[in-house]
Homo-oligomer: A and B are copies of this chain.
Amino acid sequence: MTKSNAVRLNCQVRVVGAGLLGSSIGLRLSSQGVDVIVAGSSPTTLKLAVDLGAGRLATEADDPKLIVVCVPPDITADVIQAELAAFPHAVVTDVASVKLEPLQALVARGVDLTNYIGSHPLAGREKGGAISAQGDLFVGRPWVICRDEETPAWALSLVEDLAADLGSVVIEMTPEAHDEAVALVSHVPQVVSSLLAKQLEKATDDAVRLAGQGVRDTTRIAASAPDLWIQILSANAENVVEILEAFRGDIDGVIAALRDVDAPGARTTIMSELAAGNSGVARLPGKHGQTRKFTAVTVLVDDKPGQIAKLLTEIGELNINLEDMRLEHVEGAARGLVELTVLPDVADRLIAELEARTWSVHR
């Protein structure tokens, strides 16, 4: 539990839907002393969530100021509408991973959306349900807030407080920009991973024995729940199709080049596609949660307690901030490799200072 920040929310919070996200929110807020009410249509799920410590059941006397709708996308609009009607003085947000379609549905029904603010915390696991809930699920993850010009400041700040208490980082986006972005970084990767995994259905036993980390990583999210994903993909179909078509075009290009790999230009085509993949993956904040460029400096250290600390202490004395760090054992060599990631402008100084202290440094 994080103790470094004071809890911001000081009101009853009603969480509707006690699946992975709802239960994780309830767990974290409850542990911070917030009065969390868990509600939803399944008594079994609610009992599990309460048993896990995600909150308490609803009573007649409840007066929540903040309601978080954590139900599947295809009933999100219905539940938002019902909650706005039942608690007219509360702010209602939701966590659905598509933002435009539920909003359009509510607007089409003429629902007064003054007190509604769409949210999407970019957090999840390939396992669902309250049983997979984790209080720290949202720590360090982006929390998208879709406000509009009419959103009252007090309502916005309640949702911002929620995100802050869960350890998330708020990003404001329009529903349109959000849905385009998640099509690219979430929905299309899901489709591609699922269809790649599908090819393994016909694998021989020997073939699957050869599977390594590459195919495991590329197909990990193919284990996700189809009944949830059909809803997400349906609700964001246009954006997903646009990217899938570009992807399909690229696949076609590689197939054509591989069919006659000795033809002029064939290898160049494949190389440039692979290089484009290098550039694309480099766009991800990836390891560092950052889009800036860094320099990696590798140090060989003895693989025994205290050596890494000695190294880090000396780096601390140099007043150089590490952006990232990885420790890797070189098994059998009684040594480890420490990969230090720093801003480029301090890399030279770091290397010079460490070499002066007789560390074995490789750029």
Residues B281 and A169 in contact, CB atoms below 8 Å apart: no
Report A283-316 residues with CB < 8 Å from chain B CB: 283-291, 298, 300, 302-310, 312-316
How many Å lie between the Cα of A206 and that of B52 in the bound state? 35
Chain B residues near A278 (CB-CB < 8 A): 194, 197, 222-223, 226
A267 within 8 A of B: yes
Question: Copies per complex?
Answer: 2
Q: With A122-B210, A283-B208 in contact, is A332–B298 under 8 Å at CB?
A: no
Give the segment of A56-64, A85-93, A146-154, A242-250 that binds chain B.
Answer: A242-250
**Does A279 belong to the interface (CB within 8 Å)?**
yes
Q: Contact at A212–B198, with CB atoms within 8 Å?
A: no
Docked Cα-Cα span, A205 to B216, in Å, equals: 28
> Contacts A274-B226, A326-B324: A281 and B333 contacting too (C-beta < 8 A)?
no
Given contacts A195-B254, A261-B234, A324-B326, contact A142 B210 (CB under 8 A): yes
Q: Tell me whether B134 and A330 are in contact (CB under 8 A).
A: yes
Report the stretch among A65-73, A75-83, A111-119, A175-183 that lies at the interface. A175-183
| A352 close to B (CB within 8 Å) | no
Does residue A43 face the partner (Cβ distance < 8 Å to B)? no
A52-B333, A206-B181 known; A255 vs B250 contact (CB < 8 Å): no
Contact between A204 and B216, CB atoms less than 8 A apart = no
Q: Which residues of B contact A270 (CB under 8 A)?
A: 230, 233-234
A window 81-133: CB within 8 A of B: 122-124, 131, 133
Give Cα A27 to B336, complex, Å.
12
Encode A326-361 as 1/0 by CB contact (under 8 A) with B.
Answer: 111111111101000000000000000000000010
Q: CB distance A140 to B197 under 8 Å?
A: no
Chain B residue with minimal CB distance to A124? B212
The size class of the interface chain A forms with chain B is 35 or more
Is A11 engaged at the interface, CB distance under 8 Å to the other chain? no
Q: Are A214 and B189 in contact (CB under 8 A)?
A: yes
Instruction: Assess whether A324 is in contact with B327, with CB atoms less than 8 Å apart.
Output: yes
In the bound complex, residues from chain B placing their C-beta under 8 Å from that of A280 are 196-201, 203, 219, 222
Known: A122-B210, A212-B124. A285 touches B201 (CB 8 A): no
Q: Give the contacting residue for A330; candidates B133, B184, B213, B303; CB below 8 A.
A: B133
Verify if A173 is at the interface (C-beta below 8 Å from B). Answer: yes
CB of B219 within 8 A of CB of A200, answer no
Q: How far is the CA of A304 from the CA of B322 in the complex (A)?
A: 8
Chain B residues whose CB sits within 8 angstroms of the CB of A261 once the complex forms: 233-234, 237
Neighbouring B residues of A173 by C-beta, 8 Å: 206
- Whole-angstrom distance between the Cβ of A169 and the nearest chain B Cβ: 4
Q: Which of A48, A123, A184, A203 has the most CB of B within 10 A?
A: A184
Q: Do B334 and A1 touch (CB < 8 A)?
A: yes
Bound Cα distance A90, B201 (Å):
41
Interface pairs A-B: 10 shortest CB-CB: A194-B277, A136-B331, A135-B332, A31-B332, A309-B312, A181-B207, A226-B274, A197-B280, A309-B316, A200-B280
Pull 8 A–B residue pairs with CB atoms less than 8 Å apart, ordered by A. Answer: A28-B332, A53-B333, A136-B298, A190-B214, A198-B279, A200-B281, A233-B270, A324-B329
